[in-house]
Chains A and B, each alone.
Chain A
Amino acid sequence: ETGVTQTPRHLVMGMTNKKSLKCEQHLGHNAMYWYKQSAKKPLELMFVYSLEERVENNSVPSRFSPECPNSSHLFLHLHTLQPEDSALYLCASSQDRGLNEQFFGPGTRLTVL
């Protein structure tokens, strides 16, 4: 295991639902990331948090709302999603916000009906 856990592993939701994805890292890292992985596309960086402060919001629609209450936990709150938002959502962490190895969790497979 990488030391990064994500829950739930699978999620099916309707377009009017509100749900949250959770990520926890047990590595003592200071930076955390949300990525979106869609078929036939490169991994897309969505958000970056460093020491609980959001440092990047990569033009992500407002229906995705991140939250980082402390350096070990990261959430992605979802509301009024579209079917094209169906993808694997990956959380990662790194020692700091530099050119360091990023450790990925197993991801949450999201299906929007």
Chain B
Amino acid sequence: GENVEQHPSTLSVQEGDSAVIKCTYSDSASNYFPWYKQELGKGPQLIIDIRSNVGEKKDQRIAVTLNKTAKHFSLHITETQPEDSAVYFCAASRTYALNFGKGTSLLVTP
């Protein structure tokens, strides 16, 4: 089955800096790659997703890049703010079943 590796497991940045989280996947047939943000006491919430026919997608301060040849994708958050502090999960899928990474705990310090 699909195996998704996510790094780093923890990330601390200063407010205003950029944060990058990287994921690799094993199933070359995967074609849908969502990123979820989970705040304390809440369920994961989709922040951005990308499909395999696109190499990059941007939404305000958040961007995702996909390299299908290397089977890795990354989340980029620019101009980080304290409210960006949360756990971020990547996932890869070729069906309805999402295969998640273990998560990255991001801390943005003022």
Given contacts A31-B96, A41-B102, A42-B100, contact A99 B41 (CB under 8 A): no
**Residue tally, chain B, CB below 8 Å to A:** 24
Contact between chains at B43 and A43 (CB < 8 Å): no
CB proximity to B under 8 Å, residues A74-110: 90, 92, 94, 97-107
A70 to B96 CA separation, bound complex (whole angstroms): 20
Contact between chains at A99 and B102 (CB < 8 Å): no
Contact between chains at A99 and B97 (CB < 8 Å): no
A106 interface neighbour in B43, B89, B100, Cβ under 8 Å = B43
Nearest neighbor of B1 in chain A, beta-carbon distance: A58
**Most central of B34, B43, B46 by chain A CB within 10 Å:** B43
Contact between chains at A106 and B44 (CB < 8 Å): no
Do most interface residues of chain A lie in helix, strand or loop, or is the interface mixed?
A: loop
A42 interface neighbour in B42, B43, B95, B102, Cβ under 8 Å = B102
Given contacts A42-B4, A43-B89, contact A102 B42 (CB under 8 A): no
Given contacts A41-B102, A42-B101, contact A90 B96 (CB under 8 A): no
Contact between chains at B100 and A102 (CB < 8 Å): no
A95 to B96 CA separation, bound complex (whole angstroms): 11
* B67 at the A interface (CB under 8 A): no
Nearest neighbor of A107 in chain B, beta-carbon distance: B43
B100 interface neighbour in A43, A48, A50, A100, Cβ under 8 Å = A43
Nearest neighbor of B103 in chain A, beta-carbon distance: A42
A92 to B99 CA separation, bound complex (whole angstroms): 14
Contact between chains at B45 and A2 (CB < 8 Å): yes
A31 to B97 CA separation, bound complex (whole angstroms): 11
A57 to B103 CA separation, bound complex (whole angstroms): 24
CB proximity to A under 8 Å, residues B12-50: 31-32, 34, 36, 41-46, 49
Task: State how many angstroms separate the Cβ of A1 from the closest Cβ of chain B.
Answer: 10
Report A's interface with B, CB cutoff 8 A. Answer: 2, 4, 31, 40-43, 45, 48, 50, 56, 90, 92, 94, 97-107
Q: Identify 9 new A-B residue pairs, CB closer than 8 A, beyond the known A94-B96, A104-B44.
A: A2-B43, A31-B96, A42-B103, A43-B98, A90-B43, A99-B31, A99-B93, A101-B49, A106-B41
